[in-house]
Amino acid sequence: MAKAARTTRSLLFVSVLIPLLATLGADGVGGGSSRCPLVPSMTAQSACSAVSGTRHMRELCLRTLRSGAGAAVLPVTRHAATAVRGALDSYAATVAAATSLLDGGAVPADAEKAAFGDCMVGYGRARGAMSRVADDLAAGGCGDGAAGLKAGYTAGLRGMDGCRRGLLNYPASPLYARNLADRNMTLLAALLCSLVPAPPSA
């Protein structure tokens, strides 16, 4: 009899509580209609190995993530957020450098000045898009997070590419080299965002 009762309790647990917990897990954060993915956790090293196709990217990844995380096992949203912050910081440094080149009279030609201007437009767009990615990551990739993340980092990459197109005639410009580095940081952030799974459907 006791054994039967235990079995009944086990069945109850399996058939009722687990689905209930799964529902709570999927719907819990953010309340109401938002759905949240089950975000995997890993070390910076594992995240970097998972996303990096080249040695250069892997080193950039480790440099970017390890300074904050060390060997800690963290949700991939945290690793992605670190890279997004790194990209935003590097955009800010590039915009500051471009501004001081312009203000210091280091860009005398009008056409090159115009290219700098177009580049700054691209950076403005990338900054807006990647700031939204940062917000989505802070929300744990819930709701339309995965699609939102993708739209955001795609726009970030487009902003970087827009800058480069304008600078193609000025490959010796310090801005050109900085833009390539910033694009790599943006790509790193995008790759790490791709580790965030889509929320479960329905």
Ligand X SMILES: *[C@@H]1O[C@H](CO)[C@@H](O)[C@H](O)[C@H]1NC(C)=O
Which residues contact ligand X by CB under 6 A?
54, 56-57, 180-181, 184
Shortest approach of ligand X to residue 198 CB, angstroms?
A: 26
74 bridge partner residues: 42
Shortest approach of ligand X to residue 190 CB, angstroms?
A: 13
41 bridge partner residues: 75
Contact 65, 78 (CB under 8 A): no
Nearer to ligand X, 116 or 176 (CB): 176
DSSP 8-state symbol, 74: E
Q: What's the rounded Cα separation, in Å, for the pair 6 and 11? A: 9
Shortest approach of ligand X to residue 28 CB, angstroms?
A: 38
Buried b (16+ CB within 10 A) or exposed e, 6-42: eeeeeeeeeeeeeeeeeeeebbeeeeeebbbbebeeb
Shortest approach of ligand X to residue 31 CB, angstroms?
A: 41
Local structure of 16: helix, strand or coil: helix
Nearer to ligand X, 145 or 166 (CB): 166
Nearer to ligand X, 59 or 135 (CB): 59
Which whole-number Å values give the CA distances from 16 to 9, 20, 21, 202, in the listed order?
A: 10, 6, 9, 18
Nearer to ligand X, 149 or 191 (CB): 191
Shortest approach of ligand X to residue 143 CB, angstroms?
A: 32
- The owner of tokens 């998972």 is 50
Nearer to ligand X, 137 or 188 (CB): 188
